[in-house]
Amino acid sequence: MVLQRERPLPIWGWADPGEEVTVKFGGTTVTGKADERGKWKVELPAMKADGKSDRMIVRGKNTIELEDILIGEVWVASGQSNMEKPLGPSAHQVPCQDWQEEVAAADYPQIRLLEMPPEEAAAPATDADCDWLPCSPETIMLQRGRGAGYSACAYFVARKLHRELKVPIGMIAASVGGTRCEPWTPGGDGRLYNGMIAPVTPLAIRGAIWYQGESNVGDGLGYANRMKALIEGWRKAWGYEFPFYFVQIAP
């Protein structure tokens, strides 16, 4: 996985109520205590990206060790089918141009890919069944969710950032084809936000990219207001301002 550089790093989890939990990472040790519901959260200090992987040890009544963690840039990539489109061919999408060559060249061990499963929820979820994977020709084409591989748009942005910034990149893909922007907005009808975005909102990120709009066609002025609500809602959920780049494709 990748953790966001130069920002305080929240680490959270679950334990027995009142259980003391210690987190050790990057030469720093912090301790917290689970609340009456068994939830705990600690904060590691901001760290620099040095390209070296490290191990995190979480210790309470039991011990969890997380291997191969990098410090770099973390981004969220969301939207509908334009963001969901993989590099290669799928049942509903044509492949990217020169996709065989692009797949063969997708060997970037310091780019880590996470794809959120396509889940809806009535209330904000706190967990998700998914894994961080180093970017390789094999992982970029793994069958995930409803698609046929990792988001091409998310991958190309991650590759550009990695090449230009020369730091590890963590890219979180959370997209579902054919969806309007309203279900991705916190509150109200935000069932996709609840299921796919809320679980990662405790994680420190650098920013977000968004590729959506066809399903809101015919309501251009209304879409502008809805996007404002989505962006402000995400920033409020994370608790700070961050860049939010998006493609305006609703006429």
Helices (H) and strands (E) in the chain, counts: 5, 12
Decide: 109 and 96 in contact? Cβ < 8 Å. Answer: no
Q: With the CA atoms of 127, 129, 133 and 137 taken in that order, what torsion angle do they form, in degrees rounded to the nearest 10?
A: -140
Model confidence at 251: pLDDT above 70: no
Model confidence at 194: pLDDT above 60: yes
Q: Return the amino acid letter for 123.
A: A
The whole-angstrom distance between residue 189's C-alpha and the CA centroid of its chain comes to 21
Query: What is the DSSP-derived secondary structure letter of residue 80?
Result: S
Residue 141, SS3 per DSSP: helix
Q: Is residue 90 very low, low, confident or very high in pLDDT (cuts 50, 70, 90)?
A: confident
Model confidence at 19: pLDDT above 90: yes
Model confidence at 237: pLDDT above 60: yes
pLDDT tens by residue, 96-134: 999 999 999 999 999 999 999 999 999 999 999 999 999
State pTM to two decimals: 0.95
Residue 145: the pLDDT is 52
